[in-house]
Structure formats: C-alpha cells, structure tokens
Structure 1
Amino acid sequence: MSPPAAAPKHVVIIGGGICGVSTAYFLATHTARLPTTKITILEGNKIASAASGYSGGFLAKDWHGSATSDLSEMSYNLHEELSNKFNGQKEWGYRTVDTLSIETDATRKSKKSSPLPWLENGLVHSSRSLGSHKTTAQVHPKLFTEFFSKKFLENPNTEIKFGQVKSLSLNPETNTPKSVSYSTISNDNDKQEMIDDIDSIVICAGPWTGRLSNDLLGSKIGQKLSVQGHRAHSIILKTKQDLTATCLFTSMTLKDGSAAEPEVYARPDGTTYICGAGDDEPLPETSAEVSPSPNAIAKLHKQAQALSDIFTTEQNVEIVAEQACYLPIADRGRPLVGKVRGVENVWIGSGLSCWGITQGPGTGKVLAELILEGKAKSADISKLAP
C-alpha cells in the first residue's frame, strides 16, 4: 500500500468512544506538521456514552489470539506510555494489577486459606494466577476517554459535534466522502445539520457499526462490516475498606446451588466494579436508550454478597451505579481495523468485543498511521483488514 497522494483535508470520525477518540487524538498529534487538516469527532450522544463509559477497564497484555496479539501487546504498552506521559494514575486510575481465577462453593466448606484478605476463609476452593503486575492492568475507561477527548481539542483544527448520523454523500468522480448529514434535537424538534467539504471518514461506532455501515455505504459493503451488540451488566460498589489491586475472574456456586461467573475489579478510587451478562435484548437505536435489566442487576448484587460480606448492606456498602452497555461483536469473530474495500478514504475500527479498552488506543494509533502514511507501522493488523 502506497502513502496517500496528499494529506486529507477533513477527516470525520463517527463515534466518541475509546476507539474514535484515540483515532482522533493520534491523528491530531500526527498532523501537527499538516496544519491544514481538519479533524471532527461526530458523536450521537456524549463522549464515552456506550461501552467505553460503562465497561470495567481491565487490560491484558498476552491473553489474545494470533489475529490480535500484536495489536493488543502494542496497545497494552501504549496504555503505560500514555499514563507515564499524562499522569494516568491520577487522571484515569491507571495501575497494574494481579489477576486471579477463583472457584468458590458456598454449599461446602473449603480447607484452603483465602487467597485475599477480603475473601472469607473456607469459601475459595481453588485459585490460580492469570496475570501479574507485568501483564495485567486497569483503567477507568470513561475517565480515559474523556481525558483524551479534551487533549484532542488542544490541537488546531479540531472539533467535536453531537448528533445522529443520517447519510453520507460520495464524490461520484473519486468515490470518496464528500459530506455527512446528521440530526440534532433543538426545542424538541429534529434539526438537520451537514458537514461539508470532507474527504475521509472513520467509522468507530461500536455495536452500531453494522447498522451505520449499511445506511451509509449500502448493503453490499455494509454486510462485510457487520457488528452486533451483546448486552452486559455491571454494578459499582463503594466499600468501607479499600481492596487489594486485584482483578478476579470467578466460577461460583451459590448456596442455592446456582452457578455464576461474575468478574470483579477492585479500583484505586475505593470502588469495586462487578460485571456479568444476562437478559440480553436487541440493540436499541441509540446509546441514550440503553438501560439495565432489573433482574440481571439483582443477580449481580446477590453474587457480590455471596462472594464477600463487605458487599452487604450490613457493612454499609454504597451503590454507586447499576448499569448496562452493549459490547461490539463482529460477526466474523475478530475486530475490523483498517481500510474499507469498495470505497475510497473510508476506514473502520470496531468489533473489539470485551477487549475494546485494551486495544482502543492501539487501534487509534494504527488507523492514524494508515490514514496519514498509508501503512500501519506500530502493529501487525493484516488479519483484521475489513
């Protein structure tokens, strides 16, 4: 692939999650030598309004398959670099963690000692290390995404617009983007807006990528970019005691014999993020319409209380949030990162599944390289080409 003949004059990035914001940030910092290039984030709701605002922020360096291993390792290291550069420990809760897999069974007593001081002795029947401070870490993804959306705006010729994308017009001579229309709400009425004189589009719309690709590019191209949404639930609890820097992947048997596998991430701000699937529903039209299932939330509270009494009301636990989001799952089973075939100057970064926070910054960096230099230099994404 040869480098572009000329620098893009106006890049529009659809989506204000971690992939879209990271792409915008790295484009803006790359284009410091290209002062005429304009970059716009177009987001339907608010920055980090979907999974990037509600996921747990667990990062893993070496848990990935061959198609994404290089991107994941690069992006994991990039998280550390960005934290060192911008004080991520303070700004978005970056820290390395120990990660354990534990099996609990409340129906029978274990003779093993608890691997953690806040887990009751006799509950954990087995535990093993899944990652150390060298290979696993965490961030608060909402704070990360919001921080870099602001850093992006510190660069010249950058902007963020809010509205629902409606259509894309292509230049018939070059088959490149020409303009994009979107709607905003003004005085309870839809107001149609237009961004003209563009020449490049990046689609980072998470679980809405499939629908949007069909609407903007037609079904022939859109069917190759199919991404679905799978609803995941989470609760955030504030306990009286701070927990160790540990992330848990559990396999639980509760007192009633039911099974559960919640993931538990202790955060440096004193909260604990607990997540699990359940009660999936079709993807709504917008991120503003996403809501949790009361049944799924109740199950998470039950599982948390079965794991440790520090999560019970008797211990004055504070419920910080009860929420849901949709993970973007690409139909083909691996992310879509690269240039879209069948149209010019359209790129995509989506379908990263539960690894969106780990891979998000790296995805943004390689997309910026593709757009400005014609080649992804920082990681091998050859198996992720759409």
Structure 2
Amino acid sequence: MAPNAPQHILIIGGGICGVSTAYFLATHSARAASTKITLLEGTKVAAAASGYSGGFLAKDWHGSATADLSAMSYDLHADLAKQFNGKEEWGYRTVDTLSIETDATRKSKKSSPLPWLADGLVHSSRSLGSHSTTAQVHPRLFTEFFTKKFLEQPSTELKIGTATSLTLDQANQTPKSVSYTSENGEKQELEIDQLVIAAGPWTGKLSEQLLGNKIGGKLAVQGHRAHSIVLKTQQQLSATCLFTSMTMADGSAGEPEVYARPDGTTYICGAGDDEPLPPTAAKVSPSQSAIKKLHKQAEALSSVFTPEEKVEVVAEQACYLPIADRGRPLVGKVRGVEGVFVGSGLSCWGITQGPGTGKVLAELILEGKVRSADISKLAP
C-alpha cells in the first residue's frame, strides 16, 4: 500500500456522478486493497435527475470548458455499453437527432422527415447529430447497474442517510469524519479521510453546511425544475431524438424535446420553472399544468401520442437540474481544504458527462492528477 493511500473515501450523492465516481474508484488499478469506499445517498440511488431525465448524449455540442470531458465521456458511454451489454442492460443506442419546426396554423408543403410525424405539420427540419455524435441511455437503469457493479467490488458499501456535518483533522485540515442521519432517524458517524460531494442540485446547500460559507459558499449549485412524461405507443418509433419549436393550432408555442427509446416508450420533456428546490429528492413533485401542457404538445406533434391510438401513460414527473451559479460545472479538488472533491453542476449534460466526471475524479484522488480529459477550466 502506498504511504498516502486513502483509508476511507466517502462519496455523497447517488446520482450518475456519485455512482460513476464510486465505480471508477473501486475498480481503479491504483486503489489500495485496504481502501474502503462508501456511497451515501439520502433516499435511493437515482432518486433525482439521474432517475428522471431523458438520457440524451451528445459528443460535440459543448463549450470549450467542457468539450474535452464531454467527448471523453461520450466515448466512455460507448465503451461501457460494449463491455457490459448496455444495449440490453440500460437501453444504450446511437441515434439520429433532428431539429424541427412545426406550425399547426398553416399547412406545410414539405414532406415529413419521419413517418410518425403528421404530413403538412413540419415546416423545417435539419440534422443536429448522427449515429456517430449522438446517442441515448436510460439513465436510471445505467445508474442502478453501476451501483450494483460498484457493490460487487471488495470493501464497498451503500448507506442510505443524510449528511449533517463534517469534522476536519485539526493538524492537517483533512476530513476526519462525517455525521449523518440514517433512514430510520438514527445519528451515525463515518471515519473518513477523503470526501467527494456529488449531490446534484443540493450540492450548494450541503457544501455550505459541511464546509462553511468561506469554502462551501464557493460551490454554489442550485436546482431548476423540469418536467417530463413517458408514453408507450402502439407503434415502434425510429431511433430519433427531436428538438422542436412548435406553434399549436391555438397559437401557443412550445419547445418540447422528444426522445424515442428502444423499449417502445417515448420520453418528452420541457416546461421548466423556478419552483424552489425541496429539501430532498423524495419531496419533488410535478406541476399538473406543466404536465398537461406536455400532453397537449405531444398529441399535437403526432397521432401516435393520442388516446385514440391507445397510448399508455407510463410516467408524469419532474426533476431538478443541477445548475452551477458560475455557468459551468464544478469538477475537481475543492480549494481551501485537503482531501475534499466535488463533481456537480452539470446541468442538462449530467448524463453525457457523468461517467467521465467519475473517471477523472477517481484519477485525481488515487493518482494525484487527471489523465483522461482536460478539466482545468472546471476547477472548483
């Protein structure tokens, strides 16, 4: 064992970033046999955006700060799918991606770009991505799968509980212990020497609670609520993701995103708002008016989403996207304290960037440097 090998690494957050970090730490060749790894989640794995988002992946849609991480993570998705049969386990597949403009107030003379879109509805269509640059996963299934793989490794565990405080070793200002409240309300304490905060939209509040305003206040991540519905159609739809700009028959507008999945369901999302972030993922609930709007838009887009075509409503839901106040994700070592790391604020790209974030954090913690991607502009 290396002299400075971590004894106990704690990851707070059971979303795709936290789970990916736990998995890549547990399977890293530089991990010492004695290093224990614990994943602490407040409710259940994939309880928030990682369980309710669409799972759309894009390789080259990103700004300079996240371009390298995103491309690496996109390819990592493909590698993991090949290694673990992701097609069957979590619905991985590459897709075509289109931007379409529809207007129900006037008939289009253009032919429909897809057989399941109504003739005369689509006024313009252009490609945003192909099977080489865009793909999809079912994010909850992905996160649950790699939680299982993490727990198959030695000296790993998953605990359900809410972190309440962090104690630092006064001699070297490194993590000493984290107190948490277990799911049955008991107060518990974990002795640790490394900490990863990957709590999604709760990262900002938790960081201040654990690290104080001077350090934790710089890890400002908030939540923005987005809504979605999942519909199962009688017709199997093509492997296509749509980004739409719709004008309805009554003149109202909308921009729902529509992701056809290989299991016969279609994920349709949009209608975000600024409802305050609740204290836990278990308290998240959708706005019924926003859900109603998505159903209206889906039915206007294609008859396959109508009751007449016997569409089945699988889910009506909401989640909070983790948005960093500074406008780009927080990935790396936290300044002002030793042995504390963060992976959060990935906004709508959390599923694309999640595995890559876990991989680079594992490298940083166990090797002391990142090899797989340039995250220099994401340093907390």
Per the shorter chain, which TM-score range? over 0.9
| Aligned 8 A contact 1:31 1:37 in 2 | no
Could you tell me which amino acid in structure 2 is paired with residue 194 of structure 1?
A: E
- Compute the displacement of 1:222 (Å): 1.5
* Alignment partner of 1:240 out of 226, 234, 237: 234
Is 1:338 the counterpart of 2:332? The answer is: yes
Structure 1 equivalent of residue 288 of structure 2: 294
Structure 1 residue 195 and structure 2 residue 195: aligned? no
- Give yes or no for the alignment of 1:354 onto 2:352: no
Shift of 1:32: 6.7
The answer to whether the 8 A contact 2:25-2:31 is kept is: no
Q: Secondary structure at the match of 1:112?
A: coil
**Any residues of structure 2 matched to 1:278-317 within 5 Å, and which?**
278-317=272-311
Distance in 2 between the 1:318 and 1:245 partners?
19
Deviations 1:255-284 (A, max 9, x none): 010110000000000000000033431000
Please identify runs of 4+ aligned residues in structure 1 that moved more than 4 A: none
Alignment partner, residue 162 of structure 1? 160
With the length of structure 2 as denominator, give the TM-score of the two structures: 0.99
Q: How does 1:259-278 map to 2 (within 5 A)?
A: 259-278=253-272
Q: 1:27-53 CA deviation, whole Å, 9 max, x = no partner?
A: 000157510000000000100000000
- SS at the partner of 1:370? helix
**Match runs of 1:1-386 below 5 Å:** 6-30=4-28, 34-186=32-184, 190-196=185-191, 198-386=192-380
SS at match of 1:276: strand
- The amino acid that maps onto 1:142 is R
CA contact (8 A) 1:279 1:293 kept: no
Distance apart, 1:316 and its partner CA: 0.6
| Contact residue 38 and residue 157 of structure 1 kept, 8 A | yes
AA at the equivalent of 1:281: E
Report the identity percentage: 77
TM-score w.r.t. structure 1 length? 0.97
Code of the residue aligned with 2:133 in structure 1: it is T
How many Å separate the matches in 1 of 2:270 and 2:313?
16
* Conserved? CA contact 2:200–2:322, under 8 Å: yes
For structure 2, list consecutive stretches of 5 or more residues without a partner in the other structure. Answer: none
What residue identity is the alignment partner of 2:302? S
Distance 2:216 2:187 in 1: 24
Which AA in structure 1 matches 2:375?
Answer: I
How many angstroms apart in 2 are the aligned matches of 1:130 and 1:280?
Answer: 28
Q: Give yes or no for contact 1:53–1:141 (8 Å, CA) kept in 2.
A: yes
What are the superposed Cα offsets for residues 84-132 of structure 1, whole Å, 9 maximum, x if unpaired? 0000000000000000000000000000000000001100000000000
| Stretch moving more, 256-265 or 273-282 | 273-282
Secondary structure of residue in 1 paired with 2:218: helix
Deviation at 1:191, TM superposition (A): 1.4
Q: Distance in 2 between matches of 1:355 and 1:50?
A: 14
- Output the CA distance in 1 between the equivalents of 2:31 and 2:307: 56
- Between 27-36 and 55-64, report the one with greater CA deviation: 27-36
Q: 2:17, 2:354 within 8 Å by CA — same for their partners in 1?
A: yes
**1:219 partner letter:** N
Does the residue aligned with 2:126 lie in a helix, a strand or coil? strand
Aligned equivalents of 1:25, 1:7: Cα separation in 2: 17
Matches of 1:329 and 1:33, distance apart in 2? 31
Asked if 2 retains the 8 angstrom alpha-carbon contact of 1:233 and 1:276, the reply is yes
Task: Measure, in 1, the Cα distance between the counterparts of 2:110 and 2:304.
Answer: 20
Q: Is the 8 A contact 2:230 2:316 kept in 1?
A: yes
Deviation for aligned residue 1:185:
3.7
2:341 maps to amino acid? W
Alignment gaps of 5+ in structure 1: none
Within 1, Cα distance between the matches of 2:31 and 2:177?
Answer: 25
Report the Cα distance in structure 2 between the residues aligned to 1:325 and 1:33, rounded to whole angstroms.
Answer: 34
| Higher mean C-alpha displacement, 274-283 vs 249-258 | 274-283
Letter in 2 for 1:259: A
- Cα shift at 1:6: 1.1
Q: Give the partner amino acid of 2:196.
A: V
User: What is the alpha-carbon distance in structure 2 between the residues aligned to residue 222 and residue 37 of structure 1?
Assistant: 26
Task: Give how far 1:217 is off.
Answer: 0.1
For 1:71 and 1:361, locate their aligned partners in 2 and report how far apart those are by CA, in whole Å: 10
**Residues in 2 aligned to 1:222 and 1:331: alpha-carbon distance in whole angstroms:** 13
SS of structure 2 residue aligned to 1:63: coil
